[in-house]
Structure 1
Amino acid sequence: MSFTVEERGALNSLSYRLFFKNAEGKYISPFHDIPMYADESQKIFHMVVEVPRWTNAKMEIGTKDLLNPIKQDVKKGKLRYVANVFPHKGYIWNYGAIPQTWEDPAHKDGDTGCCGDNDPIDVCEIGSKVCSRGEVIKVKALGILAMIDEGETDWKVIAIDVEDSEAKDFNNIGDVQRLKPGYLEATVDWFRRYKIPDGKPENKFAFNDEFKDKVSHFYIYYFSHCV
């Protein structure tokens, strides 16, 4: 299964859009039409890359737009960027979403005590490659972080591209701790502080700021709805 993208408008502008096409060249929605699973038997998920590592523009799937293109988030008429929160530069992973998932704003999560954020489930891909915006990759889930963002549940899945040269060595969150020391701590630090330059308070986390080990498909189905 392959996908291509078509850019419209200038990057870093209000008009920028990134549309998706399938192998037949037909326009599709990355939210509705790309399968959640790349291989359900192996629990391998598709990930739509919204933000390449080290970049700052806050890009996201336009869940309310026709065909759900990727676009830059806007607040009060201005394009949104994440600040460089020392010592980090932009996003510290390839950041994106699992298609056909949705965190229900009407469902109060038992672990966080908060309802969902009305967006697809987010993914932080930790492989060695810097991905391209709009790239659709296959990822292996390693763990999950339960962030509470302005009173909303906002799960973050830690994953690695199955095509990464090191993917075979990563099978759970303990492998990340062992093979990439400091990366998980940096991830919590980044999510905790990235909104402070915008005048927002620190984000909070369930489970005493700890990652839950290896995401089961229960987690994904519990927080997802086919849309």
Structure 2
Amino acid sequence: VCSHICRSRTAAATPHLYYLRKTMHYQTEQRGHPHSPDYRIYFKTSQGKYISPFHDIPLVVETEQGNDVPAKKPKKNESEVLFNMVVEVPRWSNAKMEIATKEPLNPIKQDVKKGKLRYVANIFPHKGYIWNYGALPQTWEDPDHTDKETECCGDNDPIDVCEIGTQVCLPGQVIQVKVLGILAMIDEGEMDWKVIAINAEDPDAKNLNNIEDVRKSRPGHLEATVDWFRKYKVPDGKPENRFGFNGQFKDKDFAVEIIKSTHEHWRALVQKQTNSGEIAW
């Protein structure tokens, strides 16, 4: 649970033990020093076996019915479908941490560009990332797939998630989230979907079930999200990012369909039915 983990934070060199509800437990092993090019966060099972947060953590929180992405919208009396999210960047922080898709075992590392560690600027009036930011495992935005709505290809990464709960999480933490909606960002011509979700353990989770609930209960939050994504690269000399659907958030059902699509692209990737490029396992 996010709140428990955050209270029990220890020294950087100490492994953390996290628990996935109804699935498995695992450890994160940190190597190197934070804010250095060689810093890595590796993932292991409780038995000490190294795993990939990209390929080995299930996308959907397992239930008695299995762990496939639901083929249709669940009935109202069925339990909420929850997705596992790998946290890369805690809210309010600036270091651009990410799953290293091209390295064996795909540890989390800080992105480096032109030999320098990457940090996002503070976009007034915000401080760093304005949500817990991360990715859904077992998803992949295929660079050879053209989105029919935006006519842009995927960015070659797992699909991104903005978790809007009240807790500040840790890099490498896995939380179970409720999907609420999605934003179609276009980053330098590439499709870069941003899923909006909330930690299922958050006190507000029971009251937030779709994107309209977010709009009503948190005035300005969605607008701030669009503004942040539009401008966050400008201090680095890049143009403003663009958006599909005129920057409007799409609803939960649309978001789940996009997640299903990226999960199928990931399946094709690991089954070597598509060009994997430099993607590692």
Return the TM-score normalized by structure 1.
0.97
SS at match of 2:235: helix
- Structure 2 residue identity aligned to 1:123: V
8 Å contact from structure 1 (residues 3, 136) kept in 2:
no
2:54 is matched with: 31
CA distance in 1, matches of 2:149, 2:95: 31
1:221 is matched with: 260
1:12 aligns with 2:35: yes
CA distance in 1, matches of 2:26, 2:219: 34
2:216 is matched with: 178
CA deviations over 1:173-224 (Å, ceiling 9, x no partner): 0010011110000000000000000000000001111000114532212123
CA distance in 1, matches of 2:27, 2:209: 29
Farther-moved stretch of structure 1 (212-221 vs 200-209): 212-221
For these two proteins, the number of residue pairs brought into alignment is 227
| Aligned equivalent of 1:22, options 19, 32, 45 | 45
2:176 is matched with: 138
SS at match of 2:30: strand
CA distance in 2, matches of 1:25, 1:178: 45
SS at match of 1:38: coil
Return the TM-score normalized by structure 2.
0.79
CA distance in 1, matches of 2:136, 2:45: 17
- Structure 2 residue identity aligned to 1:48: V
CA distance in 2, matches of 1:30, 1:158: 20
SS at match of 1:20: strand
2:199 is matched with: 161
Percent identity at matched positions?
68
CA deviations over 1:52-104 (Å, ceiling 9, x no partner): 00000000000010110000001011100000011110000000000010000
SS at match of 2:222: helix
| Aligned equivalent of 1:87, options 109, 122, 125 | 125
CA deviations over 1:126-163 (Å, ceiling 9, x no partner): 00000011000000000000000000000000000001
SS at match of 2:230: helix
Structure 1 residue 4, shift from structure 2 partner: 1.5
Higher alpha-carbon Rg: 2
Structure 1 residue 3, shift from structure 2 partner: 2.1
| Aligned equivalent of 2:154, options 116, 128, 144 | 116
CA distance in 1, matches of 2:242, 2:38: 33
Farther-moved stretch of structure 1 (164-173 vs 211-220): 211-220
> Which segments of 5 or more consecutive residues in structure 2 lack a partner in the other structure?
1-23, 71-79, 271-281
2:103 is matched with: 65
Aligned positions of 1:196-215 closer than 5 A: 196-215=234-253
| Aligned equivalent of 2:140, options 78, 86, 102 | 102
CA distance in 2, matches of 1:7, 1:25: 14
8 Å contact from structure 1 (residues 148, 205) kept in 2:
yes
Structure 1 residue ranges, 4+ long, deviating more than 6 angstroms after superposition: none
CA distance in 2, matches of 1:185, 1:37: 28
CA distance in 2, matches of 1:18, 1:223: 24
Q: As a proportion of its length, which structure holds more strand?
A: 1
8 Å contact from structure 1 (residues 17, 71) kept in 2:
yes
Structure 1 residue 113, shift from structure 2 partner: 1.1
CA distance in 1, matches of 2:243, 2:81: 25
